[in-house]
Structure 1
Amino acid sequence: MTWLAFAAFSAFAICCVAQFWLVERVASMLKARHPAIHRRVYGWRMGQRLYWFALFRRDRSLGDPELSCRTKDLQRLALLALGALAAFVVFASRAGL
């Protein structure tokens, strides 16, 4: 059972690292293609604001299919990370960790 907890935590860690890359990619796309939106999102808590931007699919109104694809990828990766974290909690609690 501990190997399942390790696998779930590894999946969670990989998702977290991949999200850094994807957030940077979405931010650079916003900066290059939609500077007004980038200025609204840019700031101290840019990562959190980009997650809200992706979660509520505010990219649809921009008419940019590549940006919409990346924000959907960010949304999927965040859900996968939450699922992996939940699986880790379940497996770790059953293993007594």
Structure 2
Amino acid sequence: MPGYILMPFAVFLVCCVLQFWFVKKIRDRLIEKHPDTFLAIEKKAIFPHQALWKFTRGHDYKSLNDEELNLRVRNFKRLYVVAIFAWIAYAVTIFTAPIS
């Protein structure tokens, strides 16, 4: 198996691990600067990070006018896009790599 097959998977794995760090930073910022908003979105969810995920997927964070929070959410979304492309690249290399 060629070694280049594992490079996109490694990028995907790093993105998955970094997502936890980004969600923690977003959560910390909400608790620190916008505790009412944090409590409101956490009450809607069954799982702990489900509410934060929905909050970042929409555009609700923009209404808080918090530049640092906006930056963290945008970076989180960029990381998500990189993870998706890494997974697609991994799938393509799996199916197109020569078997030897």
TM-score bracket relative to the smaller structure: 0.7 to 0.9
- TM-fit CA distance, 1:88: 0.6
**Structure 2: 5+ residue runs without aligned partners?**
none
The aligned residue for residue 69 of structure 1 is 71
Extract structure 1 runs of 4+ deviating beyond 3 A: none
The aligned residue for residue 2 of structure 2 is 2
The structure with the largest alpha-carbon Rg is: 2
Give the distance between the partners of 1:11 and 1:17, measured in 2 at CA.
10
The aligned residue for residue 84 of structure 2 is 82
- State the Cα deviation string for residues 6-57 of structure 1 (Å, max 9, x = none): 0000000000111110100100110111111111233542323222212222
Give the distance between the partners of 1:60 and 1:6, measured in 2 at CA.
37
Q: State the TM-score, normalizing by the size of structure 1.
A: 0.87
Q: State the TM-score, normalizing by the size of structure 2.
A: 0.85
Letter in 2 for 1:66: E
RMSD of Structure 2 on Structure 1 (CA): 1.9
Q: Is the 8 A contact 1:2 1:92 kept in 2?
A: no
Distance change in 2, residues 1:48/1:83 (3 Å): farther
The aligned residue for residue 13 of structure 1 is 13
- Give the alignment of 1:35-46 within 5 angstroms: 35-42=35-42, 44-46=46-48
For this pair of structures, how many residues does the alignment match?
97
The aligned residue for residue 60 of structure 1 is 62
Letter in 1 for 2:19: Q
